Structure 1
Amino acid sequence: MSNKSTLLGTSPISKLLVQQAVPASIGILVMSLNMIVDTIFVGRWIGPLAISAITVVIPVTFFIGAIGLSVGIGGTSVLSRALGSGNHEKALKVFGNQITLTFFTSGILALLGLIFQHQLIEFFGADESFKELALTYYRIVLYGIVMLAMCMMGNNVIRAEGKPKFAMYAMMLPAIGNIFMDWILIKVFDFGMEGAAWATFISYAICFLFIFWFFVAKSELKLKISSFFLNGKIVREINALSFVTLARQGTIAVLTILLNNVLITYGDSLDVASYGIISRMLMFALFPVIGVNQGFMPIAGYNYGAQNFGRVREAINTSIKYSGAIALFIFAIIMVFPTEIVSIFISNSESLDTVTLANNEELLKRTPSALRWVFAATPVIVVQLIGASYFQAIGRAIPALLLSLTKQGFFLIPLLLILPPFIGIFGVWIAFPIADVLSTLVTAYYLNRAVKKDLIE
């Protein structure tokens, strides 16, 4: 089998970035469409409080799933550089250690999450109006969360091998399956929140089975039993870089918990539903930007490992240019059509009871303005995303960690604590663009300095 990962060091950067980013973007699009459709089904066929319920469950499922994502991204940085330098044996050991770390860590957290489910749901911001709905969804989804963690890890390894189409399929198949099962279980069989949860569980299983098949049948990384035994040096190397992503994803989980509690304190459950819709739109609308970012990382990591610094500089500039143009287009769509976007999630059917209809009308009144504010600084965020990813791709754990935390940790969380006590719910929404601008300025400064200092041939 030919080693396709070598193409990362020889193909033209623009062509390579498209080859890497388009499949990643399509995969993220389908995955985010899955989340969008899931929310539409729940909002239209169960009610707006069901959106609130899913929103408060997200932090724990997000964080445990992020174990796999962080081990995947952090390990992929090590793996990409090992492949770039021709050290195939180390690449095998890295991948085997990634599997072991992901399985045991996510499994322990899932077990703890089930033991303390009532305490966690209340801590995440659920009030009595939708607590039972949240618990129903939470329990079932957590049964399959280890499969999600393994999928998130494996998907990044597939991309590091230079096979982004298979990584795309790994995201598309479960998303399509979830949409289909949502329709069957919620609409056809009227299983409500249980149906939504089991549809999600099934999607995790589909993804896991596909990735397992890939590594058995298609991968260049043919593992041995010894690959799974943890190696202290490799674990430390993986963890140093994994911690960057885990800290970022953990900060997002903490941010979501804080948001839910602030929204309940200064608003009500419908404001939580508003954020539920907005958070889905953040991932859906930005899918091509995230795709470019994911496509950029293996290119930068491989060429840095091969000491092709000119290609690394070109990858940075091209990625910022492409994703910046996309982000500007997204910004325009959100600013012009916020009400039309929000109305997709809300039913005005006369068959609904009076309370649900009133809640839907109020949700449609509140959410469009909030959506505009949250996306107000979208055109500038690409510099922050690419800049933080660059340091992670080349193995610089500390600057990658600090830059990854600038928006959510250093700016957004403090702003959410400071602004709402003075200006209420509006303080929540205005905090997003302020944090975007500040974090972009900080990242741009450090990225520019690093390029001038390190990428010299």
Structure 2
Amino acid sequence: MSLLVSLSNLGFNYLLVAVLDLGVAGSAYGTVLAQGLALGAIVVYRQARLTHLLPRVVFSHLGLGPSLRILALGAPQSLGFVGLSLGAASILAALQMVGNEDYAVSVTAYGIVTRVMTFAFLPLLGLSQAMQTITGNNYGAGLFGRSAASLRLAAMIAFGFCGFVQVAFSAFAPQIASSFVADAAVVAKVAAIMPVIVALFFVSGPLMMLAAYFQAIGDALRAAVLSLSRPFVFAIPLTFALPLWWGEFGVWLAGPSAEALLLCVAVVLLWRHESYGGLIQALVPAKGRAEP
């Protein structure tokens, strides 16, 4: 369904923007049409009785209590994306606050870094969603060892992927920047700031998997703590605080600093997580435990 939405969005954008020349409005209309097409496909699929989860079954179970619980579980991820946007706006504001002379160069370089980081984030998002499916099914069936193993595997994959990305982005930052622009000043700025921005990227992947794990097992509180602490509690305040001592460098240092603080929060949550038999077993396999 996600692929259908993406492909139809591309098709509608081409039709409305390139053919009908509707500009930015055409792009917005294309997005709405693609989402409407996906919704229609879901309704038709369920009405055709190709699944046991028919629309009438869904609506008959929509009570206030379950709805609020669903919203609570979905809020951390939604607000996390809001935090990313606010974080980017905070960085731009902080760069103006420090009053550096090459503000335009810094903003351009930061734009390149964020575009590149998007390509690194999307595989992590897909990995977390795949893990949540496996985790939720096994946890709901009472197979806690298997649900813990799904987190362990996802965290290991995320750690390896993020470590590779961090090394590659740090080592080849000038080459990456050169593929976007020819301006020597912008290339030099990207080469200077990208290694700092990704300094603890190898930690972010496993932390993202841990937050997704808590969401999959229905622990909205811990999911919210891990998803929202970094942008709202750590990153945004540090973006404005650190430049007071380190100038522009403090702006770029805020991200890794927030990641380090979030790691401390995650360690505390894992250490105190006893209500499910101890989540430490998710990272260190329990010996002598058999699962069907």
TM over 0.5: yes
Distance 2:114 2:147 in 1: 32
List per-residue Cα deviations over 1:303-355 (Å, max 9, x = no partner): 22222212101111111112222112212221121122122322x5xxxxxxx
The number of equivalent residue pairs is: 272
Does residue 70 of structure 2 align to residue 238 of structure 1? yes
Does residue 90 of structure 2 align to residue 253 of structure 1? no
Which residue does 2:128 correspond to in 1? 293
Distance 2:3 2:75 in 1: 25
Distance 1:177 1:329 in 2: 36
Q: Which amino acid aligns with 2:114?
A: S
Does residue 284 of structure 2 align to residue 427 of structure 1? no
Q: Is the 8 A contact 2:154 2:206 kept in 1?
A: no
Which residue does 1:143 correspond to in 2? none
Q: In 2 relative to 1, CA 330–173 (structure 1 residues): closer, same or farther, beyond 3 Å?
A: farther
List per-residue Cα deviations over 1:31-58 (Å, max 9, x = no partner): xxxxxxxxxxxxxxxxxxxxxxxxxxxx
- The match for 1:330 among 165, 178, 198 is 165
Q: In 2 relative to 1, CA 406–343 (structure 1 residues): closer, same or farther, beyond 3 Å?
A: same
Which residue does 2:277 correspond to in 1? 453
Q: Which amino acid aligns with 2:34?
A: C
- The match for 1:204 among 14, 31, 39 is 31
Which residue does 1:372 correspond to in 2? 195
Q: Is the 8 A contact 2:133 2:216 kept in 1?
A: yes
- Aligned-residue offset at 1:279: 1.7
Higher relative contact order (CA 8 A, sep 6+): 1
Q: In 2 relative to 1, CA 198–369 (structure 1 residues): closer, same or farther, beyond 3 Å?
A: farther
Question: 1:74-223 alignment to 2 at 5 Å?
Answer: 166-174=1-9, 185=18, 195=23, 197-198=24-25, 200-205=27-32, 207-219=34-46, 220=51, 221-223=53-55
Q: Which amino acid aligns with 1:201?
A: A
Distance 1:382 1:275 in 2: 21
- The match for 1:417 among 215, 233, 240 is 240
Distance 1:376 1:271 in 2: 18
- The match for 2:156 among 306, 321, 344 is 321
TM-score normalised according to structure 1 size: 0.53
Q: Is the 8 A contact 1:286 1:327 kept in 2?
A: no
Q: Which amino acid aligns with 1:335?
A: S
List per-residue Cα deviations over 1:102-141 (Å, max 9, x = no partner): xxxxxxxxxxxxxxxxxxxxxxxxxxxxxxxxxxxxxxxx
Distance 1:175 1:273 in 2: 27
List per-residue Cα deviations over 1:184-239 (Å, max 9, x = no partner): 75xx99x8xx84x3464254145314412430343534313982996322222122
Q: Is the 8 A contact 1:293 1:319 kept in 2?
A: yes
Which residue does 1:282 correspond to in 2? 117
What secondary structure sits across from 1:391 in the alignment?
helix
Distance 1:388 1:366 in 2: 33
Distance 1:241 1:226 in 2: 18
List per-residue Cα deviations over 1:244-289 (Å, max 9, x = no partner): 2233233333322222211222243443333222222222123222
Q: In 2 relative to 1, CA 310–175 (structure 1 residues): closer, same or farther, beyond 3 Å?
A: farther
Q: Which amino acid aligns with 1:368?
A: A
Q: Which amino acid aligns with 1:310?
A: G
Distance 1:171 1:322 in 2: 26
- Aligned-residue offset at 1:175: 5.2
What secondary structure sits across from 2:116 in the alignment?
helix
State the identity as a percent: 25
List per-residue Cα deviations over 1:415-436 (Å, max 9, x = no partner): 1121112222111112212222
What secondary structure sits across from 2:166 in the alignment?
helix
- Aligned-residue offset at 1:181: 7.5
Q: Which amino acid aligns with 1:338?
A: A
TM-score normalised according to structure 2 size: 0.79
Give the RMSD, CA atoms, in angstroms.
Answer: 3.2
Does residue 180 of structure 2 align to residue 341 of structure 1? no
Distance 2:124 2:219 in 1: 23
Distance 1:363 1:199 in 2: 32
Q: Which amino acid aligns with 1:431?
A: A
Which residue does 1:311 correspond to in 2? 146
Q: Is the 8 A contact 1:289 1:323 kept in 2?
A: yes
Distance 2:190 2:184 in 1: 10
What secondary structure sits across from 1:453 in the alignment?
coil
What secondary structure sits across from 2:159 in the alignment?
helix
Which residue does 1:14 correspond to in 2? none
- The match for 1:271 among 103, 106, 116 is 106
Distance 2:132 2:235 in 1: 25
Q: In 2 relative to 1, CA 327–429 (structure 1 residues): closer, same or farther, beyond 3 Å?
A: same
Q: In 2 relative to 1, CA 226–404 (structure 1 residues): closer, same or farther, beyond 3 Å?
A: closer
Q: Which amino acid aligns with 2:38?
A: I
Distance 2:15 2:167 in 1: 33
- Aligned-residue offset at 1:439: 1.1
